[in-house]
Structure 1
Amino acid sequence: MTDADPLEEIEFLARSANRIEVLAALVEEPQTRQSLADSVGVSQPTLGRILRDLTKRKWVRADGDQYRVTATGELVATGITDLRERLATETKLRDVIEWIPTDTVDVGLHHFADARITTPSQTRPNAPIKRMLELLSETDHALLLSHAFNEQKLQLIRDRSVEGKLTTRGVFAEDAIEAIEATADLRELLADIVASEAAEIRVVSTDIPVAIEVTDSRTHLLLRNDEGIVRASLDTDDETVRAWAERLHEKYWSIGTPLSVDDIGD
């Protein structure tokens, strides 16, 4: 009976990405040595050593001129591939995770594996905001939820709503609307949005923990620190993230108070 140390087996695989690639390739389909060497990109001597090691562990077996993964080999391959993908996601999110309200974003972080991350830089300090505006400028429909209302976003929604190019259902914090009402030109933009047939705005007095927008193709999260400063944004086409965002929007939409032109102060 084999009494291998699982950590040693993990180390065995981690020391060589080629071992993982060979296992993953054989999970897809049986292959000859030549096809394996071509698909993984290793020399025949290197492949020979890998196959001997994997065969010794009974993860791979020879079948005529082909090699096949065994049931235990598939178990290992699936697990190590999943671990590698999770670590790749963790590495990607590491610098922004502190600003993701994980108690609110109740979907597995692996759903952000393919997310586009946008962060400010010295040359593009407003990059996350610009990404948000880019997505809004490309969509026909949008669900919006936020505790703030950026001036550029306000102008864009106003222009596209009045032109009939954007249908919007937005929920905003009471403080955000009051801040807009305090400035005449912003107040006018908001009034135009509310007056248009393409937009519906509701207001909530409760805290909104994360700013989201759901467009035709992407779900966008604007990430802020405790001081309210935008530190990054995430956007993804993942359907699970989209479903979560739609549920969160509906939660606040259901308790929001519709905003009319008459409600906007002079």
Structure 2
Amino acid sequence: MGHDSIPHQNAESPISDIAYLARSEHRVPTLVALTERPRSRSELCELAGVSSSTIRRTLDEFEDRVWIRKDGYQYTATRLGEAIASAMQDLIEQVETERKLRDVWHWLPEEVSDFPIETWDAMSITVAEPDSPYRPIDRFESLLKETNDLRLVRPEIALMEPCFEVLVQLIDEGVDVVLVARPESHTYFLSTYPERSVEMMQQDNFTVLEHDSLPPCGTGLLDERAAISCYEQDSGTVHVLIDTDVAAIREWAQSVCDTYASEAQPVEPP
């Protein structure tokens, strides 16, 4: 592979190059666009939503750094430019994930926070917002509707009651369901929905267990996805739902479900 014959201007430091790219919203997308195929200056203006003079200065800076080369009236990324564009995309994605996690980090089980950083990108993080307090529950319900096998440790009332009809339907359809809950949860559902609860508990594919010392977060397996539900300590409302198909987290969730199920006691229908 030949070298690109473009004059090279040394930057002061790697941080200065990163800072240069980060200072304007259009720079990384422009460089990424040039890794996809050659583009003209006018095309880049339209794509980036900036003026011709701005894109000209940007391209000059890119050329000085040997990130792009000019081919006729078009520009294309060099191998160096491709490397920088890829690294910046990875960094942006990682920061986007971190921004989602930073406000919920203290909610997570310690074992999950210890998983490699690479697993974070594969997490779907649904947070309750003031204007959308039911977002985590809606996400859980959407997963519940598609599952053919369900294992849940600490299914709190705030999570399960809005999904009660979906759970009933799953059991009627023969889906295997195992719930390991606090005694208070069983008492609530048996008193609030006595007939439906007893009918469900009489089904062979529905196993109800109780445990009086469960972890603060809920942990579940819905087919190939692991789900972690984080609750407000005082109110029990669902603050965050995290779900993922990462094998390592699913294996951890499986071990949590197996451990607490083996320690729990069966609940007999009244």
TM-score (norm 2): 0.74
1:193 aligns with 2:200: yes
Percent identity, aligned pairs only? 23
- Kindly state the Cα deviation for residue 50 of structure 1 after the two structures are TM-superposed: 0.8
RMSD: 3.6
1:88 aligns with 2:96: yes
After TM superposition, what 4+ stretches of structure 1 lie above 6 angstroms from structure 2?
258-261
The letter of the residue matching 2:95 is: L
Q: Match for residue 268 of structure 2?
A: 264
Q: Match for residue 224 of structure 1?
A: 231
Equivalents in 2 of 1:23, 1:124: separation in Å?
A: 36
Change (3 A) 1:216 1:22: same
- Kindly state the Cα deviation for residue 47 of structure 1 after the two structures are TM-superposed: 1.4
Equivalent position to 1:251, from 246, 255, 258: 255
After the TM superposition, which residues 1-266 of structure 1 pair with which residues of structure 2 at under 5 Å, given as runs? Answer: 2=10, 4-104=12-112, 106=115, 108-112=119-123, 115=124, 117-119=126-128, 121=130, 128-129=136-137, 131-133=139-141, 135-136=143-144, 138-150=145-157, 152=161, 155-156=164-165, 159-164=168-173, 167-173=175-181, 176-177=182-183, 179-181=185-187, 184-185=190-191, 189-201=196-208, 207-208=214-215, 210-215=217-222, 220-227=227-234, 229-236=236-243, 238-240=244-246, 243-255=247-259, 256-257=261-262, 263-264=267-268, 266=270
Equivalents in 1 of 2:150, 2:171: separation in Å?
A: 17
Equivalents in 2 of 1:216, 1:139: separation in Å?
A: 9
- Are the counterparts in 1 of residues 149 and 176 from structure 2 also a CA contact under 8 Å? yes
- Are the counterparts in 1 of residues 149 and 175 from structure 2 also a CA contact under 8 Å? yes
Unpaired segments ≥5 residues, structure 1: none
Q: Secondary structure at the match of 1:103?
A: helix
The letter of the residue matching 1:111 is: A
Unpaired segments ≥5 residues, structure 2: 1-8
TM-score (norm 1): 0.75
